[in-house]
Chains A and B, each alone.
Chain A
């Protein structure tokens, strides 16, 4: 036994040689050295002045999940397919199977990922609204709001895909003709407004909706704003124009609402003011204030989608658009992606001095937070300093990495997180003025009728009044005002310009005024969905 124990001891000692530690106690969980800490320097702007508490939080929140102001969903499909912007292929970056090139060139197919995601996102949001209606113990007002929200979500799908299924708390309809879809949406909103039709003399006293001004919820004016958008495009959807009703809806908002354009009296701090850079403005005024991180209570906004950097994410235009190195201009938490930029022709449609030009784009030489140049070591030119140019050399395959003005309308704040705080307006007064102007001109068959409202909007932007107005100059004005607000695609279609040629977009297939129904959706529907003609 003794021998064995000795052997054991020996083996044990050998084995343990590699596991011995000294017996020092290392206080890794406690501070053992002194150091000082600077205070918290980055207090975020508060995105929301207050929030609402009801049974519709997730229903309205579902708008964020559909890519309303982010990459890959509704905003992207609606905007990249227009002449506002493109996602160019920058060598090894952003080819991505050609999905963005296809959407911009109008060569998209039914298998296109973002087109599929936009469809699914829309119906998931609708399901969420229906879920709230079924489970929410909603009163009449909230029920009416939910139904208008649902109608709005269906309108987006109708506008993009044409022939949709209408899904309410009782289930899904068959695939509807575009006219029948239009009628369902119209009916649902009119019902919430408590009227049989929109007219100058309508009485909304029977509406379950209120006139109260809660930006993240739908009141009578928001519902009328959606109706105005619907009627404005009625001819495209149904073949029958509804200009008068579009006019009356817009006019009712302007005449009866307490909203006013965000003019020089409205000013908020410039969120990207760099202490070391004296040329940075101290504040944002007028038009620019409508889209700032502190835009919750802007007097122009009638209905907006709430975004918050911490708890209501989904807006990330800074990531989508800026060059990687622009991180150092704003000291963003995350590196941007260098994707989206405005088309040169669109940028050049703004005259110098237009407040909207400064507000909507980031262009020129870029400096870091301290005011020094920022560089791109992978730059094609010998000088690696970053200067955003208006021109873009080509759509693909080797678009310049700093080519194209960047999307700056929803202004970025210094130190921003991956998500932004700016709320995204769905209905705002500037848009309503232009809708009223267009409808008035269309009713009269005379574009000069649009002058008053157009010049109201132009005056706010600090540019001179237009003497004469044509369909083309109106469309251009609307484009300047509504950049990045997901309106351009519908506007181009309504003005008959969708199949025109711009930049590297040459395809003019007539059937592409609607997007293809996603192939997966057709496959999963067991025959309930059929493809749009032409695809």
Chain B
């Protein structure tokens, strides 16, 4: 890491040491209507010679009489002035019209006013503040219709991301990420501090240019780049402190004793034992600049993040270079970008949180405090309640075992743009990405949990795992830009080739000798190697996953106010059988500013948009259309073995398609801007691994095109300047979205999901889907509020006089089950408040989701006062009913999880240092998760969008979810 950083500095040094030309001195002032423009760039055209305007807008530069000065400033239209004989040049810059701002839309950009689909652009200044380790967190709550949830906030777990509800079932439901034009790039290889802007392509018409991979929406990330001129250095440092926010209520040791729990003599707060106040340090340094037609930006980012769970967190080093230059008389533009991430993560064991919740609160941590004779040496010195089901000392889990990962990611991309004529540009992009992940999982021989400490024969287990993902992208396309009178046509056409590969291998060895030694680094000592059949080994390489595509797009502007955008992409994938490899994905959009006809007073824009598009989705998995076999040894393995079928073939498997229609309105006045989008999308032929008739296909599973979902929704974004000017500004904005997904067609009329599991709740399903109805129904017997002999009494839902709550009958007409909640929210809300006065700024961001429910699984298992429970802790929420002594899943354990929270509060002050060295310094204080208003009794009321990967089963709050934290951050930003 040190070496990386030093290399970065050397590189910056080398770039900075370009020659400085000598010429006459020109000075002047750069300003706008309101006064001087601090930091405006002044460059001698075609050279590396440049400077920036100072605090008063003044500049001085050496330039020859034949030179031209280029004045530029972000948000303003650049101006060029020939020097001639002038020694003083004063320039008044004109702000860009916001509607002329270019939004990145894929294969280039478009002016905002020309866009006809649902595209939202979020700039750096709107990003979430504080400790943000994952770029997706920057956007949480900021874009209507974009759901980003990382339940509990494990720093090593990615967020679940959904755009506009559910658009697929069998394939990837997360949006496609495109970073600086590189399709499918890794979001984890970008440090949040390096991101300048994120565009979200919400509807199929916008995403169709990305064809097969655009069905779940597209997130376009633009990283920061340098501006030619004076070199700028920026340094950020952040210190955070996080602590446990919400957990689920359990009994204290005294309450537990009083409730008849088995007293083991001690008083232990298990959650305190396995959680901590987590300290995080983040440093970012960047340098940017360049001269003439060359610019660069390099950055280095260092993160040392602790989770609130002990032995959980990561350290990460990331470096990025963006470089751009023009040559061949400015006809050829070369952009190069590269980034490198090296991350060491302590995954830790989230199970420690689960067992800390449930472990007997009177049990001691250490064996030496055991209430009876106990051989602590066998268990690493920790106490264990032996002979119970699913009961493990959480401190032993967290401290004795190792679960460490190392991730290395590297990518580069090079873009070449050549201006063939004034009208035609030719582009060529090449990108390469390499991601490696290695994991060392070690269960110590003295750990009861997974370590085999109770068994004398096989203690300890070590698993070494490595995987590697490679991605290559080659694209070539051309744009033709032609004006006809006051109309304009831009044609873009090209070819894209993508190739991905994933391979992995792992080896598991156990049965280690005694001695306090981390055998994960010496698996050759495993006595498994002496025993038959114990060593686990696996290696796997996916087939190359290739995609090739041809695309054509036309952006037509007729008479300055009618905008027509159309595109078509034809795409083929290796994943499908012969004859079904290719799919065609068209899109069209129309837009016009109605205000040009209505001329409403004070209104700048009233644009109506209507668009339609089709996108596809490449399924996860490989060889889906083909027969797949496993292999089994004969007993003893001495005489060979045979293969056996594990999946039947389906040569007719075809592309899953999504079509979407979107209507939008954009309204702008000087102070108010609002956007409304209404859409309906239909995903058909989605690909599912489903049970089929074994008597026909030879095996009972294969992949089929098996269903259809329709999603409808409304999204509203409103922004208003409540106070503007006089040194005080107050801007407030709301994004609001509602989405409803209906299952139109499925492999069966109804299906049940989300088996609750052991102990005692196998074959108990909490979620139902039914054709013709909304997805995510939590389906359960309805408790009538009374208890008889320890068992809940249920409502006769269908009124047939018989109460039938048998789980196996759940889907039958005679069953007394009802939809007792929905896993998906009715609507979601984000509310931004940005106040600036003088050198101060305050940003308060509230976020909420309403109408969803969660199955509180902790309560289902451990709240009933069952006999066997008395050696575990009782879950003891305000909803607990001590009369219930028989565990049965019902409406009692399904809770409304509406919440409203102060998600992010930042107070920042600009420090006026008046230093010649430091341009600007800002000190900020931030709180994340400041407070949460909810009635939910579990630890985190955020919606759960899928259950163990099953997107048809939202609403499950499982026992292994992480606990949420409140984080305080102090940050200092210095710009030199």
**Interface of A with B (CB < 8 Å)?**
1, 3-5, 7-8, 11-12, 14-16, 18-20, 28-31, 33, 35, 37-38, 40-42, 44, 47-48, 51-53, 55-59, 61-62, 89-99, 102, 107-109, 111-113, 120, 123-124, 126-128, 130-132, 165, 167, 171-172, 216, 306-312, 323-325, 327-328, 331-335, 337-338, 369, 374-378, 380, 386, 397-398, 401, 415, 417, 520-521, 523-526, 528
Q: Is the pair B5, A311 in contact by a Cβ cutoff of 8 Å?
A: no
Contact for B639 among A52, A112, A520, CB less than 8 A: A52
State which of B455-463, B613-621, B954-962 sits at the interface with chain A.
B455-463
Complex-state Cα separation, A376 to B868, whole angstroms: 9
Complex-state Cα separation, A107 to B814, whole angstroms: 14
Q: Is the pair A93, B456 in contact by a Cβ cutoff of 8 Å?
A: no
With a cutoff of 8 Å between Cβ atoms, the chain B residues found around residue A398 in the complex are 790, 866-867, 885-886
Contact for A28 among B521, B761, B886, CB less than 8 A: B521
With A18-B302, A59-B642 already in contact, the answer to whether A92 and B869 are too (CB < 8 A) is yes
Closest to B511 in A: A40
With A12-B5, A109-B812, A415-B455 already in contact, the answer to whether A91 and B806 are too (CB < 8 A) is no
State which of B172-180, B202-210, B384-392 sits at the interface with chain A.
B384-392
Complex-state Cα separation, A20 to B302, whole angstroms: 13
Complex-state Cα separation, A271 to B388, whole angstroms: 25
Judged by a CB distance under 8 angstroms, whether B13 is at the interface is: yes
B779-813 vs A, CB cutoff 8 Å, 1 = contact: the mask equals 00000000000110000000000000011111110
Q: Is the pair A377, B809 in contact by a Cβ cutoff of 8 Å?
A: no
With A29-B522, A47-B635 already in contact, the answer to whether A11 and B691 are too (CB < 8 A) is no
Least CB distance from A175 to B in Å reads 9
With A7-B917, A398-B867 already in contact, the answer to whether A99 and B807 are too (CB < 8 A) is yes
Q: Is the pair B9, A325 in contact by a Cβ cutoff of 8 Å?
A: no
Contact for A310 among B12, B513, B533, B867, CB less than 8 A: B533
With a cutoff of 8 Å between Cβ atoms, the chain B residues found around residue A33 in the complex are 515, 517
Q: Is the pair B698, A41 in contact by a Cβ cutoff of 8 Å?
A: no
Q: Is the pair B645, A520 in contact by a Cβ cutoff of 8 Å?
A: no
With a cutoff of 8 Å between Cβ atoms, the chain A residues found around residue B388 in the complex are 324-325, 376-378
Complex-state Cα separation, A29 to B464, whole angstroms: 13
Complex-state Cα separation, A107 to B806, whole angstroms: 10
With A7-B917, A51-B634, A325-B387 already in contact, the answer to whether A57 and B302 are too (CB < 8 A) is no
With a cutoff of 8 Å between Cβ atoms, the chain B residues found around residue A332 in the complex are 455
Judged by a CB distance under 8 angstroms, whether B76 is at the interface is: no
Least CB distance from A315 to B in Å reads 12
With A15-B5, A309-B533, A378-B262 already in contact, the answer to whether A90 and B868 are too (CB < 8 A) is yes
Closest to B285 in A: A11
Closest to A52 in B: B639
With a cutoff of 8 Å between Cβ atoms, the chain B residues found around residue A16 in the complex are 2, 5
For the complex of A and B, 5 pairs with smallest distance between CB atoms? A310-B533, A325-B387, A97-B807, A58-B642, A53-B639
With A95-B761, A96-B763 already in contact, the answer to whether A102 and B642 are too (CB < 8 A) is no
Complex-state Cα separation, A62 to B454, whole angstroms: 33
Interface-central residue, B12, B531, B806, by most chain A CB under 10 Å: B806
Judged by a CB distance under 8 angstroms, whether B643 is at the interface is: yes
Judged by a CB distance under 8 angstroms, whether B637 is at the interface is: yes
Q: Is the pair A378, B455 in contact by a Cβ cutoff of 8 Å?
A: no
Judged by a CB distance under 8 angstroms, whether B112 is at the interface is: no
With a cutoff of 8 Å between Cβ atoms, the chain B residues found around residue A58 in the complex are 632, 641-644
Complex-state Cα separation, A312 to B454, whole angstroms: 24
Q: Is the pair A167, B695 in contact by a Cβ cutoff of 8 Å?
A: yes
With a cutoff of 8 Å between Cβ atoms, the chain B residues found around residue A526 in the complex are 693
Q: Is the pair A35, B976 in contact by a Cβ cutoff of 8 Å?
A: no
Judged by a CB distance under 8 angstroms, whether B552 is at the interface is: no
Least CB distance from B479 to A in Å reads 39
Q: Is the pair B691, A15 in contact by a Cβ cutoff of 8 Å?
A: no
Q: Is the pair B386, A92 in contact by a Cβ cutoff of 8 Å?
A: no
Closest to A91 in B: B866
With a cutoff of 8 Å between Cβ atoms, the chain A residues found around residue B862 in the complex are 92
Can you list 13 A-B pairs, Cβ within 8 angstroms, ordered by A?
Answer: A4-B231, A11-B235, A15-B302, A58-B643, A61-B641, A61-B644, A92-B864, A102-B808, A107-B806, A109-B812, A124-B700, A310-B532, A311-B636
With A92-B864, A99-B763 already in contact, the answer to whether A131 and B698 are too (CB < 8 A) is yes
With A8-B9, A90-B868, A167-B695 already in contact, the answer to whether A18 and B2 are too (CB < 8 A) is no
Q: Is the pair A308, B808 in contact by a Cβ cutoff of 8 Å?
A: no
Judged by a CB distance under 8 angstroms, whether B913 is at the interface is: no
With a cutoff of 8 Å between Cβ atoms, the chain B residues found around residue A91 in the complex are 760, 866-869, 885-887
B290-319 vs A, CB cutoff 8 Å, 1 = contact: the mask equals 000000000010101000000000010100
Contact for B389 among A18, A335, A524, A528, CB less than 8 A: A335
Q: Is the pair B521, A127 in contact by a Cβ cutoff of 8 Å?
A: no
Contact for B634 among A53, A132, A335, A376, CB less than 8 A: A53
Judged by a CB distance under 8 angstroms, whether B233 is at the interface is: yes
Closest to A47 in B: B635
**Interface of B with A (CB < 8 Å)?**
1-2, 5-6, 9, 12-13, 16-17, 231, 233, 235, 237, 262, 264, 281, 283, 285, 300, 302, 304, 315, 317, 385-389, 452, 454-458, 513-515, 517-518, 521-522, 527, 530-534, 632-645, 691-696, 698-700, 748, 758-765, 790-791, 806-812, 861-862, 864, 866-872, 885-888, 917, 976
With a cutoff of 8 Å between Cβ atoms, the chain B residues found around residue A374 in the complex are 387
With a cutoff of 8 Å between Cβ atoms, the chain A residues found around residue B457 in the complex are 41-42, 331, 333, 415
With a cutoff of 8 Å between Cβ atoms, the chain A residues found around residue B636 in the complex are 47-48, 51, 308, 311-312
Q: Is the pair A521, B693 in contact by a Cβ cutoff of 8 Å?
A: yes
Interface-central residue, B237, B762, B808, by most chain A CB under 10 Å: B808
Interface-central residue, A56, A124, A323, A375, by most chain B CB under 10 Å: A124
Complex-state Cα separation, A55 to B761, whole angstroms: 41
Q: Is the pair A92, B632 in contact by a Cβ cutoff of 8 Å?
A: no
With a cutoff of 8 Å between Cβ atoms, the chain A residues found around residue B861 in the complex are 92
With a cutoff of 8 Å between Cβ atoms, the chain A residues found around residue B759 in the complex are 92-94
Closest to A30 in B: B522
With a cutoff of 8 Å between Cβ atoms, the chain A residues found around residue B765 in the complex are 97
With A95-B888, A123-B694 already in contact, the answer to whether A377 and B2 are too (CB < 8 A) is no
Contact for A380 among B643, B808, B867, B886, CB less than 8 A: B867
Closest to A103 in B: B808
Least CB distance from B445 to A in Å reads 12
With A57-B632, A380-B867, A415-B455 already in contact, the answer to whether A120 and B700 are too (CB < 8 A) is yes
Complex-state Cα separation, A479 to B527, whole angstroms: 44
Complex-state Cα separation, A311 to B634, whole angstroms: 7
Least CB distance from B694 to A in Å reads 4
With a cutoff of 8 Å between Cβ atoms, the chain B residues found around residue A8 in the complex are 9, 12-13, 233
Contact for B869 among A47, A99, A378, CB less than 8 A: A378
Contact for A19 among B1, B9, B632, CB less than 8 A: B1
In the complex, besides A4-B16, A98-B763, 13 extra interface pairs with C-beta distance below 8 angstroms are A12-B9, A28-B518, A38-B514, A92-B887, A96-B760, A109-B808, A109-B809, A128-B644, A324-B388, A331-B456, A386-B387, A398-B866, A417-B458
With a cutoff of 8 Å between Cβ atoms, the chain B residues found around residue A306 in the complex are 634-635
Closest to A46 in B: B636
Complex-state Cα separation, A15 to B787, whole angstroms: 62
With a cutoff of 8 Å between Cβ atoms, the chain A residues found around residue B811 in the complex are 111
With A93-B760, A93-B868, A401-B868 already in contact, the answer to whether A324 and B389 are too (CB < 8 A) is yes
Q: Is the pair B871, A113 in contact by a Cβ cutoff of 8 Å?
A: no
Least CB distance from B781 to A in Å reads 11
Contact for A124 among B455, B699, B810, CB less than 8 A: B699
Complex-state Cα separation, A396 to B34, whole angstroms: 81
With A18-B304, A47-B635, A127-B694 already in contact, the answer to whether A377 and B643 are too (CB < 8 A) is no
Complex-state Cα separation, A308 to B531, whole angstroms: 13
Closest to B527 in A: A40
With A91-B887, A310-B533 already in contact, the answer to whether A31 and B761 are too (CB < 8 A) is no
Least CB distance from A11 to B in Å reads 5
Q: Is the pair A93, B763 in contact by a Cβ cutoff of 8 Å?
A: no
Complex-state Cα separation, A123 to B513, whole angstroms: 45
With a cutoff of 8 Å between Cβ atoms, the chain A residues found around residue B454 in the complex are 327-328, 331, 335
